[in-house]
Each structure stands twice: as structure tokens, then as C-alpha cells.
Structure 1
């Protein structure tokens, strides 16, 4: 199963013809995807399952319908176990960006994190996962496929947000600050975090 986000609404790609009574279930080969995306954007459709009996063909069919943009990014920890965030479009996000010709995806991820925050001394610890979301560029829908890596650094210098890319802030955040930031982030970003970061802090609960 895959989740492909339109804003914060996930389109489910699965091998099951019916995943629940709330869902509109459509064979992915027959899906009129652009119309469905517009319905999600307008709020008309909130639960969509696109299915195929062979799991390896789900993304294959999706990529036939949408042009793919490949990107790389990082979930970066410093020596104090703080996490590196950027603030753009009124949301807290993680640094990421489009792959350039000739790069492998690890090089893309390292370069983009450095460019967007001016952090130094990055080292990849492990691959996390690949996320998918649909973007609208010049009135055309595209599939952004982002490969995420856990990274670490001992850098303690100043972070400088890449203003040219619309980034307003670059900040290290501790555990509590990260929990707060994730409330103003994106659903696909939350997929990257250990579960303890997504549990609401007792002091934040409304009685």
C-alpha cells in the first residue's frame, strides 16, 4: 500500500478492491486522475482508493498518468538530538529539493539540506522512506517523489535560510518544540518521525 498526498489528503494505492465503506474504490488503470485530484482539492472527495491486484504495478500506473519530479531530503539531528526544520509557506517543513542531472539521490539530499539551511558536516545515517505528493505547477499536476534520509551533524554555527526558495526560517528544535512544529506541518512529513514525536504532550491537551 502507498499513500499519495493531495495537500494533506492521502490517496490510497492498494491491492484491495474495497478498503472501507467511506472510500471511493476505483481500478487505478481506469482512474481519471486529474478529475479526482480536483475533487479532492475542492473538498468533494476525501477518501479514495485506487487499486490493482499486483502491488508493483500501482506506482507504475500512477507514473504513467503524472510526470514525476524526483527529490531528496533529510531528517537531520544535531549533537543535542535536536531536529532541523525550515519554515516556508506558513508551515514547518524539512529541507528537501529536486534532483539535478548526474546526481545520485544521496548527493541530492545532502546538497539540498546544505543549500536550504547552510548547515555543514552532514552525514547520512540511514534511508528512511519515500513519500509521494501531488503538486500543481503551471496548472499541471505532477507527482513529487521524495527520498528521505536520516542525517546527523555536529554543526553548531548559524543556520541561514535560503530566502530565494521562500524559506523564512531555519531552526533546530528539541523534542517539545518538534511536537509543536508538527502540528503546523504536512501529513507526509509526519510519516518520517518516530511515534513518540506524534503523541500529544499532556500539557497541550484541552480539558
Structure 2
């Protein structure tokens, strides 16, 4: 099952029909996906399931119905085991951004972290899960698939928010501060911390 966030509300892609009642179920083959997304953006639907029988194909079927934007990002630890956060649009977030044409996803992730925060000397320690969310640009809804990597750095220089990307603040947060920041963050960012041993949310 995949969990796609639409305006921070979950849209589950599933090949199972559960006997729950607190959500709406749509057939992926016949749904007008844009109409469904609009309803979720307008808070008319809080949670929905998109059903397709073949789990391996379900994401490809969604990609046929909505344009995809590939992005890379980092969950970055410094030597004190603090995590690098950015503050944008009134919420705490992790640095990430879209890939350039032909760019490897690891290179994209490192580049975006450096551009958005000023942090260098980044080393990828492991690949984390992908997250999925829908956003609107130039009147078109797109599915953003973000590839996340855990990174470490020995960087101790000045943090520089990328202001032309709307980033107001960059900060290293301690585990107890992270917990508080995640209360004012996005659902897909919270997912990344579920398996982080240092940080229990």
C-alpha cells in the first residue's frame, strides 16, 4: 500500500478492500483523479482509498493519470546527532527539491540540501523511504515522489536559508526540539522519523 498526501490528508493506494467506514473508496480505473484531489484540497474528503487489484502496477496507473515530479531530500545529522531543519510557509520541513534532467537522485539530494541550507561536507549514510504528495503548480496538480537519504556532515559553518525558495530559517534541532517541530510539520516528514532510533515522536 502507498500513502499519498493531498493537502496533508491521506490518499491510500491499495489492492485490498477493508471493511472500514471512515473513508471513501474509489476505483482507480474509473475515478476522475483531479476531481478527487480538488475535493481533498477543499477539505470535502478527509481520507480516501484508491483501489486497483494489482499492487505492483498501482503506482504506475496513478502516474498515467497525473504528472510526476521527482525530488530528493536529506535527513541530515551533524556530529552532535542534531537534525537539520528548514522553516518555510509557516511549517518545519526537511531540505529537498526537484531533480534536474539527467541528474542522479543522490546528487540531486545533496545539491538541494546544500542550496537550501548552506550545509556542505554531506555524506549519504543510507537510503530512506520515498514519500508521496500532491501539489499544484501553474494550475496543474502533480504527484511529487521524494527520495530521502539519511546524511551525515562534519560541517560547522553558518547556516544560510535559501530565501528565494521561501526558506525563512535553517536550524539544527536536538531530539526533544524535533518532537516539538514535528507538531508543526507535514505528515510525510513525520513518516521519516518513525524509524529513527534517536527520535521518538
Partner of 1:203: none
Note the alpha carbon deviations across 1:73-130, whole angstroms, 9 max, x for none. 0000000000000000000000000001121100000000011001010000000011
Write the distance in 2 (CA, Å) between the matches of 1:21 and 1:186. Answer: 25
Partner of 1:112: 112
Partner of 2:2: 2
Deviates more, 1:19-28 or 1:177-186: 19-28
Write the distance in 1 (CA, Å) between the matches of 2:200 and 2:183. Answer: 9
Measured after TM superposition, the shift of residue 24 of structure 1 is 1.1
Measured after TM superposition, the shift of residue 19 of structure 1 is 5.1
SS in 1 for 2:176: helix
Write the distance in 2 (CA, Å) between the matches of 1:58 and 1:50. Answer: 9
Contact persistence 1:190–1:198 (CA under 8 A): no
Note the alpha carbon deviations across 1:169-189, whole angstroms, 9 max, x for none. 110000111111101100000
Segments of structure 1 that go 5 or more residues without pairing to the other structure are 200-207
Q: What TM-score do you get using the length of structure 1 for normalisation?
A: 0.93
Segments of structure 2 that go 5 or more residues without pairing to the other structure are none
Partner of 1:204: none
Contact persistence 1:17–1:26 (CA under 8 A): no
Partner of 1:25: 25
Deviates more, 1:103-112 or 1:189-198: 189-198
Q: What TM-score do you get using the length of structure 2 for normalisation?
A: 0.96
Q: How does 1:1-207 map to 2 (within 5 A)?
A: 1-18=1-18, 20-194=20-194, 197-199=199-201
Q: Which runs of 4+ in 1 moved over 4 A?
A: none
Note the alpha carbon deviations across 1:152-206, whole angstroms, 9 max, x for none. 001111110011111001100001111111011000000101456353xxxxxxx
Deviates more, 1:35-44 or 1:62-71: 35-44
Write the distance in 2 (CA, Å) between the matches of 1:159 and 1:83. Answer: 13
Contact persistence 1:19–1:49 (CA under 8 A): no
SS in 1 for 2:129: strand
Q: Which structure has the highest helix share of the two?
A: 1
The count of residues paired between Structure 1 and Structure 2 equals 199
